[in-house]
Amino acid sequence: MKKQTKIFTVIFIIVVIIAAAILILKNIDDKNKDKIFSIENIDDIDKIFMVDKSNNSVLLEKDGSFWTVDGRYYAMDEQVRNLLAIVRKLQVREPVSRSSYDNVISLLATKGKKVEFYGKGYKIDFLGIKLFPVKNKLLKAFYVGESTKDSMGTYMINEGSNRPYVVYIPGYRGYVSPYFTTDPASWRAHIVFNYRIPQISSFRYIDNEYPKDSYVIENPDSRNFILKTYPDNIQVPYDTLRMIDLMSSFANIRYEYLFSETDTALVALIDSIKLTEPAHVLTLIDKYGEETTVKTYRLWYYNYELEDNDYDRDRLYAWVNKPSRFTDENGNVLYDDDFVMMQYFSFDAVLRPLHLLKSRN
Amino acid sequence: MKKKFSVLKTIVAGLIFVVAINILASFFYTRVDLTSEKRYTLSQATMDLLDEIDDYVYVKIMLTGKDLPMSFQRLRNETKEMLDEFAAHNKYIEYVFIDPARVGNSDDVMAAYTELAEKGLMPTDLRVNTKTGSERRIIFPGALINYKDREIPVQLLQTQMGTPSEEVLNNSIQSLEYNLSNAIRKLTNTHKSSVAIIEGYGGFRRDYYVSFEAMLSEYYSVSYVNIDGQLNSLANIRSRGEDSVVMENKYQAIIIPGPTNALPEKDKFVIDQYIMRGGKVLWLVEPVYVTMDSLQNSPVTLAVNNYTNLQDQLYTYGVRLEPQLIMDLQCLSIPLTTGSVGGRPQIEFFPWTFFPVLTPMSTHPIVKNLNAIKTEFISPVTKIDIPNVKHTVLLHSSQYSKIFATPDVVSLELLTRKPDQALFNKRNIPVAMLLEGTFRSLYDNRIPPDLRDNAMIDFLPASVPTAMVVVSDADMIKNQFRAGDGMPLNMGYDQYTSNQFGNPEFFLNVMNYLCDDSNLISVRSRELKLRILDVTKIERSSLKYQLINLIIPALIIILGGIIYSIIRKHRYSK
């Protein structure tokens, strides 16, 4: 090889390497500079992990068409979809100013939540060329901080970066940090009953305030029901329309709020409430013999107008014990045991006393 | 075969090398400005401004998206180049192009559009050609600039009524540096000059200039001042020994917004001495009193002299406000109920010649490239030659104007008749004038010697070099109120015709100029030559130029090939 050719070859290789390096770095740095926290293809995401500085964490995983929380509960699909929609829309409003840099960094370090998104990715994803798909790839990881002073932006920083940004959603008034909650209770589906009529074997309603209104309904064939008094077991004729209305109400009964076990003050309150006699005890047995039990408790308070104790007419406590559709390592169905806040507005549909179901003839 | 492979290898290597060099070159920003007007070189004012920036300035440009028309692409590219220039000068300048139409579904897009509009960016409706035909597209030819938790909008497209689109685009490109640097200045400006609005002489209520005050507040610390004969209302008085004082102006500029009552001599004296000490004044004085309010209830109203007691003072400084009205064929249309159909009023628009629309023609930086300005009942401003005072006409009527003498009746009946163009034979009647220089005091030789020489008053018979702007229409700063809820609208916005006029920019430039922000205004006075292709010439001889462009390069190559082969033949035949 001639000396001239050697020199040319060396120059050629150096230029190509530098150009490629710059192109790659520039591409990483500049590609969608305003969207460094957003994920365009949210359908590729199948796992989200969030953890805060107090070590509260939540793991959301896609299980077919459902999302699960910590591999143990069904997630509220709507809320996960909201989170994903938000992640797709996140845009950089501005870099954090140098004057507030230290403050924001320390806030992120003390109050930030780390969020990781995993899903379908590619080993090679460069300039729109995507090759060699891989599963469970870390798509994005960043820290979510508090809101800005104007409450219209949220501080965020990419993992491994030293540059925080104010992130917002165009057209959205507010900040997004509450969407990245690490409380598993906030992610769980609020289902109490989710049964169609054919899936119900029997339903028992015990009214401790008016024991004569207690009853049992048996469902042999989804068309003809057997209504019996409880505990006497005397069959009584029923009003068909009201019966069907009651039995179809089990399709979608949800609670309003789940009391988190992390709140120690609430745990003490729950324990004290559980010691009192429930107002109602509802027991639904499905076709597989699995039992859902709901015990309701009134929310008592002192009414100064009546000068007596009274209970809240909007809300009630409930202890829900229901099969979760998740099994342990031995294949046994796991039961959820939750203390929740319910609203009469939705729960009244299944709090039907006997005298309402009886036939008026 | 081996030789062929070697040639191929060389070609491929050469191609890779060229591509690599191009990639390298694209990331190292440098350019040499060879244009005659130095269009790619930042002005000194901008460079000084950029030198002072010590924190991130983040510019989000909305001018992006697929299928942008060529003209907007040019504006986008020019914006990018301008920001590259800024960024090359200061590393804290960062920018990004955002397509607001790509934030999500149609509801999200609409929410984003609404947010941008609320932030002050004006949308533009476009017809863009797509593969399937053409579609309507809303774009926001503007940018949002963030600095230290603050954000302000910048309109990149400077719409100008009645101006050809190429010229509008060129003016927009011409104004890029000013608009961007002005916005950055607004954001980074921590010290605000003080400006006072002088009240107490009638005129319209404060809520009529809410928008004007809001606009001023972005730049200046605005106060309302009632002079009330107090010497210290416009000046700080510091004692200098036991029997003398030094007076310093409190405000960099004062605004006198349309007095309808006569100013007391004491107040005039305070204003006069404020000017003598170098204070700047924006006079919005109407020599004729007439309002549209009277015409709401009656078809006629009377236009009478508005006695403000300022005529002598303004005359001394170098202008006379004529007690007449200007009628102009280039005017605003006003809505009028012409009847009713099915109980619903029928509203039609008629040109109202008493509301001239002024197109700034001067190249003075205050009015250069400004949009048209809406006025109501304006009067002529006549120049009075005064030594050491320079006059500059900022605004004048169109070439189809007419003088309406007062006192006289102004009647809506005029709307029913087509104006006779022959009568509108006056042209370019001045209505706003800039006066610069050293002014003589109105009270020079008019106050007793003992008062004149009293060191406790610190009387000045002549001014230091200063400036003032006299405008014969106070309505120019008024805002309208939204018909539905009575909310004040933007100054210069006419809700009946849905036109945004250039009033805010005009007064902002006036105040910038008066408050010695002329270094920034100097950026506006840059001239970029509009090099538009001659359409008629293109139509006449487009084929000729196409052939020249196609054939000549090919001929040059062929000729080169022939010469090369001749040389080779000559060399090797030996």
**What distance in Å separates the CA atoms of residue A133 and residue A122, rounded to the nearest whole number?**
4
- Give per-residue pLDDT as tens, B24-50: 776 666 667 777 666 678 888 888 888
CB within 8 Å: B56 and A94: yes
pTM: 0.69
**What distance in Å separates the CA atoms of residue A298 and residue A317, rounded to the nearest whole number?**
6
Q: At what angle do helices B165-188 and B70-89 cross, to 10 degrees?
A: 30
**What distance in Å separates the CA atoms of residue B404 and residue B354, rounded to the nearest whole number?**
9
Measured distance between the N- and C-terminal CA atoms of chain A, rounded to whole angstroms: 110
Mutate which: A86, A97, A151, A175, vs B, most B CBs within 10 A: A97
Q: What is the pLDDT of residue B519?
A: 60
**What distance in Å separates the CA atoms of residue B82 and residue B400, rounded to the nearest whole number?**
40
Residue A25 touches chain B, beta carbons under 8 Å: no
**Non-local CB neighbours of B10 within 8 Å, separated by 6+ positions:** none
Q: What is the pLDDT of residue A31?
A: 47
The pair of three-digit structure tokens given for residue B561, joined into one six-digit string? 């090939």
The stretch B169-180 carries a mean pLDDT of 82
The stretch B368-389 carries a mean pLDDT of 91
Length of chain B equals 574
Q: In this model, does residue B130 exceed pLDDT 90?
A: no
Residue A16 touches chain B, beta carbons under 8 Å: yes
Burial grade of B22 (CB within 10 A; 0-12, 13-18, 19 or more): exposed
Measured distance between the N- and C-terminal CA atoms of chain B, rounded to whole angstroms: 30
Give the distance, in angstroms, between the CA of residue B483 and the centroid of all CA atoms in the same chain.
27
**What distance in Å separates the CA atoms of residue B240 and residue B34, rounded to the nearest whole number?**
58
Residue A12 touches chain B, beta carbons under 8 Å: yes
CA distances from A350 to A275, A299, B512 (A): 24, 18, 72
Q: Which comes out higher in pLDDT, residue B342 or B3?
A: B342
Q: How many CB atoms lie within 10 A of CB B408?
A: 14
Nearest to A19 among B20, B94, B147 (CB): B20
Q: Are B217 and B259 in contact (CB under 8 A)?
A: no
- Chain B partners of A97 at a C-beta cutoff of 8 Å? 55-56, 147-149
Nearest to A22 among B17, B24, B116 (CB): B24
CA distance A19 to chain B (A): 5
**What distance in Å separates the CA atoms of residue B166 and residue B69, rounded to the nearest whole number?**
12
- H/E stretch holding B171 reads helix B165-188
CA distance A312 to chain B (A): 39
**What distance in Å separates the CA atoms of residue B541 and residue B537, rounded to the nearest whole number?**
6
- Chain B partners of A5 at a C-beta cutoff of 8 Å? none
Q: What is the pLDDT of residue B365?
A: 82
Q: In this model, does residue A144 exceed pLDDT 70?
A: yes
Task: Dump the DSSP string for B186-217.
Answer: HHH--S-EEEEEEE-S--S-GGGGHHHHHHHH
CB within 8 Å: B21 and A19: yes
Q: What 3 state SS string does chain A have?
A: CCHHHHHHHHHHHHHHHHHHHHHHHHHHHHCCHHHCCCCCCHHHEEEEEEECCCCCEEEEEEECCEEEECCCEEECHHHHHHHHHHHHHCEEEEECCHHHHHHHHHHHHHHCEEEEEEEEEEEEEECCEEEEEEEEEEEEEEEEEEECCCCCCEEEEECCCCCCEEEECCCCCCCCHHHHCCCHHHHECCEEECCCHHHEEEEEEEECCCHHHCEEEECCCCCCCEEEECCCCCECCECHHHHHHHHHHHHCEECCEECCCCCHHHHHHHHHHHCCCCCEEEEEEECCCCEEEEEEEEEEEEECCCCEEEEEEEEEEEEEEEEEEEECCCCCEEEEEEEEEEEHHHHHHHCCCHHHHECCC
Q: What is the pLDDT of residue A9?
A: 78
- Give per-residue pLDDT as tens, A303-322: 898 889 999 999 999 999 99
The tally of CA atoms less than 13 A away on the side-chain side of residue B92 is: 19
Q: In this model, does residue A86 exceed pLDDT 90?
A: yes
Mutate which: B105, B109, B146, vs A, most A CBs within 10 A: B146
CA distances from B568 to A199, B7, B555, B556 (A): 96, 20, 20, 18
The tally of CA atoms less than 13 A away on the side-chain side of residue B439 is: 29
Give all strands (DSSP E) within B330-459, no chain letters.
Answer: 331-341, 344-358, 373-374, 381-383, 389-396, 401-405, 408-411, 430-437
- Chain A partners of B146 at a C-beta cutoff of 8 Å? 93-94
Q: How many CB pairs under 8 A join A and B?
A: 85
Taking the CA atoms of A29, A35, A36 and A39 in sequence, report the sign of the dihedral they define.
negative
The stretch B1-27 carries a mean pLDDT of 74
Q: What is the pLDDT of residue B31?
A: 66
Q: Is-cis flag, bond preceding B380, omega within 30?
A: no
Of the candidates A47, A167, A60, which has an alpha carbon nearest to the alpha carbon of residue A104? Answer: A167
Q: Are B147 and B11 in contact (CB under 8 A)?
A: no
**What distance in Å separates the CA atoms of residue B54 and residue B57, rounded to the nearest whole number?**
9
Residue A92 touches chain B, beta carbons under 8 Å: yes
CB within 8 Å: B58 and A85: no
- Chain B partners of A93 at a C-beta cutoff of 8 Å? 58, 146, 151
Q: What is the pLDDT of residue B349?
A: 86
- Chain B partners of A171 at a C-beta cutoff of 8 Å? 103, 108-115
Give the distance, in angstroms, between the CA of residue A11 and the centroid of all CA atoms in the same chain.
58
CA distances from B530 to A87, B168, B269, B533 (A): 45, 10, 49, 9
- Chain A partners of B13 at a C-beta cutoff of 8 Å? 12
Nearest to B23 among A22, A91, A98 (CB): A22
Q: What 3 state SS string does A234-303 have?
A: CECCECHHHHHHHHHHHHCEECCEECCCCCHHHHHHHHHHHCCCCCEEEEEEECCCCEEEEEEEEEEEEE
**What distance in Å separates the CA atoms of residue A247 and residue A219, rounded to the nearest whole number?**
9
Q: Given pLDDT bands bounded at 50, 70 and 90, which one contains residue B533?
A: low
Nearest to A15 among B24, B110, B149 (CB): B24
Nearest to B149 among A85, A149, A172 (CB): A149
Q: Are A179 and A89 in contact (CB under 8 A)?
A: no
CA distance A265 to chain B (A): 39
3-state secondary structure of B302: strand
Q: Given pLDDT bands bounded at 50, 70 and 90, which one contains residue A30?
A: very low
- Chain A partners of B96 at a C-beta cutoff of 8 Å? 33-34, 92
DSSP secondary structure letter of residue B481: B
Nearest to B58 among A85, A95, A149 (CB): A95
Q: Name the average pLDDT for chain A.
A: 88
The stretch A83-97 carries a mean pLDDT of 92
**What distance in Å separates the CA atoms of residue A203 and residue A197, rounded to the nearest whole number?**
11
**Looking at A73-87, B351-365, B374-388, B515-529, which range is the least confident one?**
B515-529
Question: Which spans in B218-321 are helix H?
Answer: 265-276, 293-297, 311-317
Q: What is the pLDDT of residue B8?
A: 75
Burial grade of B157 (CB within 10 A; 0-12, 13-18, 19 or more): buried
Mutate which: B21, B60, B113, vs A, most A CBs within 10 A: B60
**Looking at B221-230, B361-370, B386-395, which range is the least confident one?**
B361-370
**Looking at A301-305, A335-339, B369-373, which range is the least confident one?**
B369-373
Which amino acid would we find at residue A352? R
Taking the CA atoms of A349, A355, A357 and A361 in sequence, report the sign of the dihedral they define.
negative
- Chain A partners of B54 at a C-beta cutoff of 8 Å? 98
- Chain A partners of B64 at a C-beta cutoff of 8 Å? none
Q: Is-cis flag, bond preceding A231, omega within 30?
A: yes
Which amino acid would we find at residue B390? K
Q: In this model, does residue A339 exceed pLDDT 70?
A: yes
CA distance B160 to chain A (A): 29
Which amino acid would we find at residue A303? N
pLDDT above 70: percentage of residues in chain B: 91
Q: What is the pLDDT of residue A61?
A: 93
Nearest to B103 among A26, A89, A149 (CB): A89
CA distances from B106 to B100, B101, B111, B124 (A): 11, 8, 9, 18
Q: Which comes out higher in pLDDT, residue A328 or B222?
A: B222
